[in-house]
Chains A and B, each alone.
Chain A
Amino acid sequence: MVRNLDDLIIRTCARLMVPFLQIYSLYVYVHGHTSPGGGFQGGCIMAASFILLAVAYDIGEAKRRFSERLNAIFCCLGVFIYVGTGAVALIFSANFLDYSAWQHIIPVGPIMARYYGIAMIELGVEITVMAVMVSIFLDLVTAGEQEAVLERDHD
Chain B
Amino acid sequence: MNRLLSLCITALAGLLLLYGVEEFPRWGDPLQPASAHVSPRYIEQTIPETGVPNAVTSVLADYRGYDTMFETSVIFTAGVAVMMLLRRSRGKKS
Do A and B come together as binding partners?
yes
In the complex the two chains form, is B76's CB within 8 Å of A76's CB? yes
Q: Which residues of B contact A115 (CB under 8 A)?
A: 50-52
A72 (CB) vs chain B CBs: closest residue: B83
User: What residues on A are CB-neighbors of B49 within 8 Å?
Assistant: 111, 114
**Chain B residues closer than 8 Å to A140, beta-carbon distance:** 82, 86
Asked whether A34 lies within 8 Å of B60 as measured between CB atoms, the reply is no
Q: Which of A99-155 contact B (CB under 8 A)?
A: 99, 111-112, 114-115, 117-118, 121-122, 124-125, 128-129, 131-132, 135-136, 139-140, 142-143, 146-147, 150
Report the bound CA distance from A32 to B57 in whole Å.
Answer: 7
Are A34 and B54 also in contact (CB < 8 A) when A82-B72, A86-B69 are?
yes
Q: Fill in one digit per residue for B47-68: 1 if any A CB lies within 8 Å of its CB, else 0.
A: 0111111101110111001101
Of B54, B61, B71, B87, most buried by chain A (CB within 10 Å of CB) is B61
Instruction: Report the tally of A-B residue pairs with Cβ distances under 8 A.
Output: 98
Q: How far is the CB of B91 from chain A (nearest CB, A)?
A: 11
Most buried by A among B57, B69, B87: B57
CB within 8 Å of B: which residues of A?
Answer: 32-36, 38, 40, 75-76, 78-79, 82-83, 86, 97, 99, 111-112, 114-115, 117-118, 121-122, 124-125, 128-129, 131-132, 135-136, 139-140, 142-143, 146-147, 150
30 contacts between A and B (CB under 8 A): A32-B54, A33-B54, A38-B57, A75-B76, A78-B76, A79-B73, A82-B68, A82-B69, A111-B49, A112-B51, A114-B51, A114-B62, A115-B50, A115-B52, A121-B61, A121-B68, A125-B68, A125-B72, A128-B75, A128-B76, A132-B75, A132-B76, A135-B82, A139-B82, A139-B86, A139-B87, A143-B86, A143-B89, A146-B89, A146-B93
